[in-house]
Amino acid sequence: MNELKALLQKDDPFLRPSRLGSHNFPGIWTAMMPRELFGLRIPEERRATCMNCPKASYEGYRADYRCCTYHPRVANFLLGLASETAVGDRVLDNLLDRGMLIPEGMHYAPAQWVDYLDDLQKDAFGRSEKVLCPNLDQSTGYCNIHAFRNSVCSTFFCYKDHGDAGDGFWDQVQVLGSQVEMALGQWALQQAGFNLDQYFKAFDKLAKNIHKVSVRDGWQTEARESLWGSWLGREKELMRACAAAVVHERDNLWEIANSQPIRESVPFDKAMVKAVPKRLEDQIDPEDLEDSGGETVRPSVIWQDVMKAYWKLWDLPEGAFVVNPKVKIADNALQTTQDQYYQDKPYFIMFYPRKGSKTLDWKMGITAAQKAVLDLFVGTARELDTTLLTNPAFKALENGKNFLAEMLRRKVLVA
Ligand code: SF4
Ligand code: SF4
């Protein structure tokens, strides 16, 4: 039980957040993801202001849960690491009590997935009454496993500074992180002496009784008994043993993730999809219907897709551009909470659904130097050429090309 403790260093980077651009990510990302990721220029995502959530303020999301109205899959080794903190340890106890823990980690049961699809159907994501992440501290709105959350939670930004290009980039990073988490989770189980063959056989068997494997809050007792096998009653020990395996190989995690085939129970996955009521079938992600045919996409291949998406973030296209007629630049009156949030930005970009509309689509604070650059595009279209690049207003702006790329992706500048 204390092998993990013995392997961890004093103030271990795996137990605290790492920084990717201006965002906090789980500390283990520094070891399990490609090193080059940390050298990239990452979008700031200024509009996903979680503690002053625009979706809760303007779009009816629950103020307490906001976008945490889903049940994430959290890998065993992440939960094992989380158990080193008092609050993370309580999260594990809670997941165990609710029956949401299986050897691979926190995992929703089939009926919970159906509830999630039902929410999507009713446009209730963010407003759900039934799909609420048990890892959220309702009294503070904080995630209790923030430094150990999964790739989906870590890369979710409801609004992207770079619009569709930002979506593309974060989607690929999310896929990469999820694939690495799954590979390491299964590898760690093997290292801990857990029998993966029996585990997947148990899943195959559960497929025959798919309607009986869930209870309201998670997995039904007999289903858990068959999945945990001889580890039943020692679940936390297994989570910590998986974390210990990962910590022990901290310098080789990327290579391990690239060589570990990911296994799944095809009969169980198919049965889960088949058990979805007809009225919800449209909500199933087509990826959930894909049969991988036993092939695992290597993280190194996904990494190439991350880089392709990355270059799209910052490309400057050819052509002449002007400030979109749907945009107004206004002073920051410092009156509302959102104004105060942008108190170091004296101006706002105000984006309307159409020219002359009174309903605001979104707004974002900008500096005086950024406004001076946008002013160059007011009225007449101009090219992104040397006349622009040598203009004093443009030269005065740090990272001016990146700002232009962002304005183009967000359609503040249009052809
Ligand atoms: S990412 Fe979630 S919490 Fe953050 S601003 Fe968007 S909806 Fe709100
Ligand atoms: S794990 Fe944390 S960030 Fe992810 S949904 Fe739950 S509370 Fe939200």
Supply 148's token pair: 């150990």
pLDDT in tens, 201-216: 999 999 999 999 999 8
Q: How far is the CA of 136 from the centre of ligand 1 (A)?
A: 14
CA distances from 112 to 11, 133, 138, 152, 290 (A): 37, 11, 20, 17, 20
pTM of the model: 0.85
* Nearest of 373, 363, 354 to residue 331 by alpha carbon: 363
* CA triple 20-25-29, angle to 5 deg: 85
pLDDT digits (tens, 9 = 90+) for 319-345: 999 999 999 999 999 988 888 888 899
Q: Is 88 in the pocket of ligand 2 (CB under 6 A)?
A: no
- CA of 49 relative to ligand 1 center, distance in Å: 6
The residues pairing with 407 across neighbouring beta strands, listed in sequence order, are: none
Amino acid at 362: W
CA of 142 to the centre of ligand 2 (A): 8
Q: How far is CA 337 from the centre of its chain?
A: 26
Residue 66 CB less than 6 A away from ligand 1? yes
| 157 C-beta closer than 6 A to ligand 1 | yes
Closest to 37 (Cα-Cα) out of 173, 144, 147, 149: 173
What is the distance between the alpha carbons of residues 321 and 403, in angstroms, rounded to a whole number? Answer: 14
Mean pLDDT by 10 residues, the chain (415 residues): 90 97 96 96 89 90 96 98 98 97 98 97 97 96 97 96 91 98 98 98 98 94 98 98 98 97 95 95 81 78 97 86 95 88 92 88 92 94 89 91 88 93
What are the structure tokens assigned to 384, written together?
């992104």
Angle, helices 235-248/163-191, rounded to nearest 10 degrees: 110
**Ligand closest in space to the Cα of 64:** 1
Q: CB of 345 closer than 6 A to ligand 1?
A: no
Q: From its phi and psi, is residue 356 left (phi > 0), alpha (psi between -120 and 50) or beta?
A: left
* Residue 407, burial from CB neighbour count under 10 angstroms (0-12, 13-18, 19+): buried
Tell how far the Cα of 173 is from the centroid of ligand 2, in angstroms: 18
Ligand 2 in contact with 103 (CB < 6 A)? no
Q: Is 72 in the pocket of ligand 2 (CB under 6 A)?
A: yes
Could you tell me the strand order of the sheet in which 105-106 lies? Answer: 74-75, 105-106, 101-102
Tell me what pLDDT residue 290 has. 67
If you write DSSP's letter for every residue of 207-257 in order, what string do you get?
GGGGGGSEETTEE-HHHHHHHHGGGTT-HHHHHHHHHHHHHHTTTSHHHHH
Which residues are within 8 A (CB) of 331 and not within 5 positions of it... i.e. 6 or more apart? 346, 347, 348
141: number of CA atoms within 13 Å, CB side? 11
* Full DSSP string of 27-56: TTHHHHS-GGGGGS-----TT--GGG-HHH
Domain locations in the chain as residue ranges: 3-313, 320-414
The tens digit of pLDDT for each residue in 52-102 reads 899 998 899 999 999 999 999 999 999 999 999 999 999 999 999 999 999
Separation of 48 CA from ligand 2 center, angstroms?
A: 15
Atom of ligand 2 nearest to the CA of 134: 6
Instruction: Look at residue 389 and give its three-state secondary structure.
Output: helix
Nearest CA among 35, 231, 213, 68 for reference residue 150:
68
Structure tokens at 190: 């093997």
Mutational pocket test of ligand 2: of 153, 155, 156, the residue with most ligand atoms within 8 Å of the beta carbon = 153
Task: Report CA-CA distances (Å) from 5 to 10, 11, 160, 240, 352.
Answer: 10, 12, 39, 9, 54
**Rounded to 5°, angle at Cα 248 from 247 and 251:** 80
CA gap 36, 188 in Å, rounded: 24
Q: Is the CB of 184 under 6 A from ligand 2?
A: no
E strand or H helix that includes residue 329 = strand 327-331
Q: Residue count of the chain, please give it.
A: 415
CA distances from 62 to 132, 138, 410 (A): 11, 11, 27
Identify which of 22, 46, 67 to mutate to test ligand 1's pocket (most ligand atoms within 8 A of the CB): 67
